[in-house]
Amino acid sequence: MSLPYINMLLKQFARGNPVLETSFGTHIHWGYWPDPAAADPSSPADYAVAAERLSLELIELAGIAPGMRVLDAGCGFGGTLALLNDRIPDLDLTGLNIDARQLARAVQMAAGRPGRPPAFVAADACRLPFADASFDRVMAVECIFHFPSRAAFLQEVWRVLRPGGALVLSDFVPAPVFAPAGRALKLPLLKRFNMLGECDTSCTAAQYRRLAEEAGLSLAVLRDVTRNTLPTYPFLSRLVGGGALGRLSRTLVFVMDFTGRRGLLRYSLLRFDKP
Ligand SMILES: C[S@@+](CC[C@H](N)C(=O)[O-])C[C@H]1O[C@@H](n2cnc3c(N)ncnc32)[C@H](O)[C@@H]1O
C-alpha cells in the first residue's frame, strides 16, 4: 500500500522541513485539545503537544498496567510506543506496520531512548504474525480506515488477545446518513484531491457493535471527541496555504472540518473487550 501523505512526509523529513518534523515527525494523527479554544493554529509545537495528548487519551482508555504485553498495530513512527515506554514501567512492546520505511524511522527514533526498545514487525494488521493469546492490549491509533477489512482486523485481534484483554482505537465514525460518503475517497474522480490514499470511513457505531460481536469482542466504549480534534483543521489549512502539504487540497480539509462540526463524521475513541 502506498499512502500519498506518508510519501510526502518522508520526502519532507529528508529535506529537513522543521514544521512537518515538529508536527508529524513523531505522531501521524490528529491532535486532541482538552480546551479547543486555547489551541494555536499557527504553532507546530502546540500541534505536537495535541498529537501526543491524543495518544495519551487512548493509552488511558486502554488501562495499560506495568508488565503488560502491548501491540500497536499501524504504529507509524512509533510515537505511541515511545509514550508507553516513558510512562509505564516494564512493558513488552511491539509495533507493527505494513510500511517498512516507517518502521526504519521508528527503529532509529527508539534507539537512543531510555527503556527497553519495542520490537518492530512489518506485516498487514489483518494478518497478524503472532501466536494466539499473546497480548494483553492492542492499540490502533487512527489507522483502521486504511486496513483491508475491519472485520478481519477485529477477528485477528480477538485471536491474539488474552482473555480479559482489550483493543483501543480511534476512527472517523460517520452518522448513519453520512456513511455512504465514507467510501467517496475511493472514487477515481476524487483521486487527485486525495492525499489520504485508500480510506474507508463508512463504519457506523451500529456496524462496529455488530462486527465486534461477530469477532467475539464487545464494544465497551465509544467516545465522540470530535470537538477536541477540530483545531486540527485550521492547523492543516495553514500548512496547505504555505504549500507544505503539497497535493492535500484545501477542499479535503474543508470537508472534514465541515462534516466534523455538523456531527456527520465523528472522531471517536473506541474500546473493545475480550471476555
Ligand atoms: C494516520 S497513520 C497513523 C500512524 C500511527 N498509528 C500514529 O498514530 O502515529 C496510519 C498508519 O496505518 C498504517 N497502515 C495502513 N494500512 C496498514 C495495514 N494494512 N497494516 C498495518 N498498518 C497499516 C500506515 O502505514 C500508517 O502508518
What does the pLDDT read at residue 183? Answer: 77
Angle at 68 between CA 62 and CA 70, to 5 degrees: 65
101 lines ligand 1 (CB under 6 A): no
Per-residue pLDDT at 190: 62
Which tens digit of pLDDT belongs to each residue from 175-214?
999 998 877 766 665 666 667 778 899 999 999 999 999 9
- Which protein residue's CA is at the shortest distance from atom 23 of ligand 1? 74
pLDDT at 187: 63
The closest of 66, 12, 55 to 30, measured between CA atoms, is: 55
Separation of CA 77 and ligand 1 centre (Å): 9
Closest CA relative to residue 129, chosen from 141, 115, 119: 119
How far does the centroid of ligand 1 lie from the alpha carbon of residue 29, in Å?
10
Active site residue 60: no
Cell 508507553 locates to 84
Residue 222: CB partners within 8 Å, gap ≥ 6? 173, 205, 208, 268, 269, 270
| Distance of alpha carbon 44 from alpha carbon 21, whole angstroms | 9
The residue to mutate among 29, 101, 146, having the most atoms of ligand 1 within 8 angstroms of its beta carbon, is: 146
Distance 8 CA to ligand 1 centre (A): 15
Atom from ligand 1 closest to the CA of residue 72: 6
Pocket test for ligand 1, best of 20, 30, 97, 121 (most atoms within 8 A of CB): 97
Q: To the nearest 10°, the Cα dihedral for 184, 189, 193, 198?
A: 50
Three-class SS state of 105? helix
pLDDT of residue 244: 47
Cβ–ligand 1 contact at 9 (below 6 Å)? no
Task: Classify burial at 17, counting beta carbons within 10 Å of its beta carbon; exposed 0-12, middle 13-18, buried 19 or more.
Answer: middle
Could you identify the atom of ligand 1 that is nearest to the CA of residue 148?
19
Domain 4-273 indexed as CATH 3.40.50.150: yes
The predicted-structure confidence for 61-118, as pLDDT tens digits, reads as follows 999 999 999 999 999 999 999 999 999 999 999 999 999 999 999 999 999 888 889 9
User: Which atom, in ligand 1's list, is nearest to the CA of 26?
Assistant: 9
Report whether pLDDT(15) > 60.
yes
Which of these, 1, 6, 51, lies nearest to 245 by C-alpha position? 6
Chain-centroid distance of CA 164 in Å reads 23
CA distance 91 to 12: 33
Q: Closest residue (by CA) to atom 25 of ligand 1?
A: 99
pLDDT at 266: 98
Is the whole model's pTM more than 0.85, yes or no? yes
Helical ranges in the chain per DSSP H: 4-14, 18-24, 44-62, 79-87, 100-110, 150-160, 205-215, 226-229, 232-241, 250-261
Residue-wise pLDDT for 137-172, tens only, equals 999 999 999 999 999 999 999 999 999 999 999 999
Q: Using CA atoms, how far apart are residues 165 and 139, in angstroms rounded to an integer?
A: 11
CB 111 within 8 A of CB 117: yes
Nearest to 116, CA basis, from 144, 138, 95, 136: 95
Phi, psi of 223 (to 5 degrees): -115, 115
Distance CA 82, CA 74 (A): 14
- State the pLDDT at residue 249: 64
**Does the Cβ of 74 fall within 6 Å of ligand 1?**
yes
Question: Chain-wide mean pLDDT for the chain?
Answer: 93
| C-alpha grid cell, residue 73 | 498495530
pLDDT higher than 60, residue 247: no
**Which atom of ligand 1 is found nearest the CA of 140?**
6
* Catalytic one of 52, 57, 142, 156: 142
